[in-house]
Amino acid sequence: MELPFAESYKIKMVENIRKSTREEREKWIAEAKYNLFALKSQYVYIDLLTDSGTGAMSDKQWAAIMEGDESYAGATSFYKLKDTIKDITGLDYVLPTHQGRAAENVLFSAIVKEGDILPGNSHFDTTKGHIEFRKAHAIDCTIDEASDTELEIPFKGNMDLKKLEDVLKANPKEKIPAIVLTITNNTAGGQPVSMENIKGVSALAKKYGVKLLIDSARFAENAYFIKTREAGYADKSIIDICREIYSHADYMTMSAKKDGIVNIGGFLGFKDEKDMQKCQMYSIMFEGYLTYGGMAGRDMNALAQGLRESMEFDYLETRIKQVAYLASKLDEYGVPYQRPAGGHAIFVDAKKILTNVPKEEFQAQTLAIELYLEAGIRGVEIGALLADRDPDTKENRYPRLELLRLAIPRRVYTNNHMDYIAAALKNVYDRRESITSGYRITKELPIMRHFTIELEKVKR
């Protein structure tokens, strides 16, 4: 008999989680003004809000924590981290930061000015926020296929090279501080970018004299997809694929809370020392001295070890197969999602499910609330709330996709939890016709409003 697939780790410590009643959840979500970010975590049974900083560290990472060097300057933990990053990416210069958006803040303070243009493949919301905060523009050049959730193509996160070249042609290079390539493409569904596409973007960057920034939160997962889906890479190791990816990068921003498998952390990587030097002042102002930048020595030690673990094929296979397992259950129940399954999450197609809820009442948010009410599962809206208002017209922006993201934390839940999630979604799906109204905004911030937004139920 062929042996079934099984996890590449065993469990050494557990954390208890608690179920609740529907009545309790109705009260809690109303108190949270229908914003799932405002829920206390103890009111959540399975937390799929994010895969960011929510993973389980390994025994080796906890051991590394004990050996952290907490020196203000020149800590051995910094050099361990720097050497690991150099080994994986080939980038020589590193500035640690406390998380990904802090890396964006430091880099964009140095390179982005009012009126600039940063083309990219679905900029992540904090990236877009940091660009628009500086009165610059994030131009989305993702391939059109990414918005057809039923289409199964291997690299749905790719940049459309024609769209990118049109932007590069139409603007002087002085106005384009960087092209932003996000791997994997979170907003489009955790979809990977192919090596061929990375090379194509890099060639255009060189042709037009523009720098390439790789937003790298899930770079190891992207490398796994290149190895398993792209011709010519099956025999290459994950680390070799990563080295090839970063041979094309001028800058990298990293939210280490994802593929660094740590609870907090981030960094900037640079090919050119001069680019790093431009950022040093902002790093010291916003994050801390150059050899700790917002992280404790123990955090940098755990991150160095986490990055090594994320290069292990067995770890990545366990992770990606768990997401695929959840997808296979949704296939069984007919629940539509962004196909094929992404690296870190399932993105449920709320527009296709809640056809009786008008888009002005936020379909994906409505679905997120229904799933919470059904089973205590917390997902997150990737739709009109996240898209913010147009900075010029102040009108709501309605993206082509209204998605409910169910992000799977690394090494945290079992496949029994996946079964529970799929069954809960099936129940919501089966009663979809009876859901006819959504929510309206009662309070919001001008940028990144989804974190703190307040809503009320629309009554018909």
Which residue type does 257 have? K
CB of 418 to ligand PLP, least distance (A): 21
72 among known catalytic residues? yes
What is the distance between the alpha carbons of residues 344 and 163, in angstroms, rounded to a whole number?
27
Active site residue 137: no
Cβ contact 287:101 at 8 Å: no
In the set 160, 215, 275, 349, the catalytic residue is 215
Nearer to ligand PLP, 93 or 219 (CB): 219
Rounded to a whole number of angstroms, the minimum distance from the CB of residue 215 to ligand PLP is: 5
Least Å from the CB of residue 257 to ligand PLP = 5
Catalytic residue list contains 59? no
Least distance from ligand PLP to the Cβ atom of residue 277, Å: 23
Residue 150 C-beta: closest distance to ligand PLP, Å: 24
DSSP state of 185: B
Residue 459 is classified by DSSP as -
User: In whole angstroms, what is the distance from residue 306 CA to residue 269 CA?
Assistant: 17
d(CA 363, CA 176) in angstroms, rounded, equals 35
Give dist(CA 151, CA 145) in Å, integer.
7
Chain position whose Cβ is nearest to ligand PLP: 100
Q: Is 125 a catalytic residue?
A: yes
* The one catalytic residue among 5, 63, 72, 173: 72
Helix (H) or strand (E) holding 281: helix 273-286
Catalytically annotated residue among 47, 51, 116, 125:
125
Question: Which residue, 103 or 375, is less far from ligand PLP as judged by CB?
Answer: 103
Angle at alpha carbon of residue 344, lines to 338 and 350, rounded to 5°: 30
For ligand PLP, the binding residues (CB under 6 A) are 52, 99-101, 124, 126-127, 182, 186, 215, 217, 255, 257, 266
Q: Closest CB to ligand PLP among 266 and 438?
A: 266
Q: In the annotation, is 169 catalytic?
A: no
Residue among 84 and 186 whose Cβ is closer to ligand PLP? 186
Q: What are phi and psi of 180, to 5 degrees?
A: -110, 110
Residues forming a β-bridge with 253: 215, 268
For residues 78 and 124, which CB has a smaller minimum distance to ligand PLP in the complex?
Answer: 124
- Could you tell me if 54 and 412 are in contact, meaning their C-beta atoms sit under 8 angstroms apart? yes
Strand ranges inside 259-357, DSSP E:
266-270, 345-349
Instruction: Indicate if 215 belongs to the active site.
Output: yes
450 is annotated as an active-site residue:
yes
Residues carrying an active site annotation = 72, 124-125, 215, 217, 258, 450
